Amino acid sequence: STPSDLTLVGAYLEKRLPPSLGVPEVAFLGRSNVGKSSLLNKLVAKVGGDTARVGKTPGATAAVNLYALLGQPKRKGGSLITGAGGAKPILGFADLPGFGFAKLSKETKESVEDTAELYLGKRRELSLGILLVDSRRIPNEDDRAVLAALFDMGVPLIVVATKSDKLKSSEVDMAMAEIRDGLGLPDGQPLRISCVTGEGIRELWSIILDACES
Ligand code: GDP
């Protein structure tokens, strides 16, 4: 087995929440195609794990797909992460494909949103929410509604702008300002990330570990 791995714990719906792994969890939210599975794989690759573990969401209509990250990431000189052997869960990654963005039947949507809301509002292990937005898109009402809901539920949050490699350098400042203003984010956000160039991945790991340690 690889030093660090993502293992699917399960897909959850109908107000059933995953069993506790006894470790902090990070929730990933964003509309489909935003680059969520790519980011999960990139984060795991960074700690020495295998890539392409997370394919298309296993439970497409699940409210919560919980993965356990197995291994032993360590800090090195502040923010660098290295993988090491071990099969213990050290972090949980919760993929919330249905929250806010999914186009679902009314019935499914209610079940998904209720369960996701229960997870976001009540999950003790939840240490950080990561909202993914596409670098090239101006945020819309859905994005703002999701952000407001997370804020209301008291979820510590960071917004990341995905696929930053697709912007020309002359476009970066304007694109980030549009996202920042569109979502009312503080200075320094969104964090630009790219799974192609690796931009922002190390910083994001550092933010994740900070949130999970505090
Ligand atoms: P998901 O639906 O949110 O899980 O999105 P995926 O991770 O499947 O990505 C959707 C598409 O965007 C795929 O074709 C990916 O190859 C592409 N993609 C994801 N991240 C990046 C990135 O950082 N840079 C570029 N150029 N393409 C990306």
Beta strands in 71-194 (DSSP E): 74-76, 80-82, 89-95, 126-134, 157-162, 191-192
Q: Measure 162 CA to ligand 1 centroid, in angstroms.
A: 8
Q: What is the reported pLDDT for 48?
A: 59
CA distance 146 to 158: 13
**Residue whose CA lies nearest to ligand 1 atom number 27:** 163
Ligand 1 atom closest to residue 193's alpha carbon, by position in its atom list: 23
pLDDT tens-place string over residues 111-143 = 778 888 899 999 999 999 999 999 999 999 989
Q: Right CATH number for 5-213 from 3.40.50.720, 3.30.460.20, 3.40.50.1100, 3.40.50.300?
A: 3.40.50.300
CA 116 to chain centroid, in Å, comes to 14
Ligand 1, residues at Cβ distance < 6 Å: 30, 32-38, 162-163, 165-166, 194-196
| Residue 64: C-alpha distances to residues 71, 112, 115 (Å) | 22, 8, 8
ipTM above 0.95, yes or no: yes
Q: Of the residues 38, 191, 194, which should be mutated to test ligand 1's pocket, given the most ligand atoms within 8 Å of the CB?
A: 38
Q: Measure 66 CA to ligand 1 centroid, in angstroms.
A: 20
Is the whole model's pTM more than 0.80, yes or no?
yes
Q: What is the reported pLDDT for 137?
A: 94
Asked if 69 contacts 5 with a C-beta cutoff of 8 angstroms, the reply is: yes
Backbone angle region of 174, left / alpha / beta, with phi > 0 → left and psi within -120 to 50 → alpha: alpha
Asked if 6 contacts 69 with a C-beta cutoff of 8 angstroms, the reply is: yes
DSSP state, 3?
S
In the three-class reduction of DSSP (H, G, I as helix; E, B as strand; rest coil), residue 140 is classed as coil
Ligand 1 atom closest to residue 41's alpha carbon, by position in its atom list: 7
Q: What is the reported pLDDT for 28?
A: 95
The H or E element that residue 65 is part of is strand 64-70
| Residue 35: C-alpha distances to residues 14, 30, 114, 183, 194 (Å) | 26, 8, 24, 19, 9
Q: What is the reported pLDDT for 108?
A: 75
Q: Measure 38 CA to ligand 1 centroid, in angstroms.
A: 6
Q: Which residues of the chain have pLDDT under 70?
A: 1-4, 46-61, 71-87, 102-104, 214
CA 132 to chain centroid, in Å, comes to 7
Q: What is the reported pLDDT for 169?
A: 94
Burial class (CB in 10 A: 0-12, 13-18, 19+), 14: exposed
Residue ranges per structural domain of the chain? 5-213
Q: Measure 199 CA to ligand 1 centroid, in angstroms.
A: 14
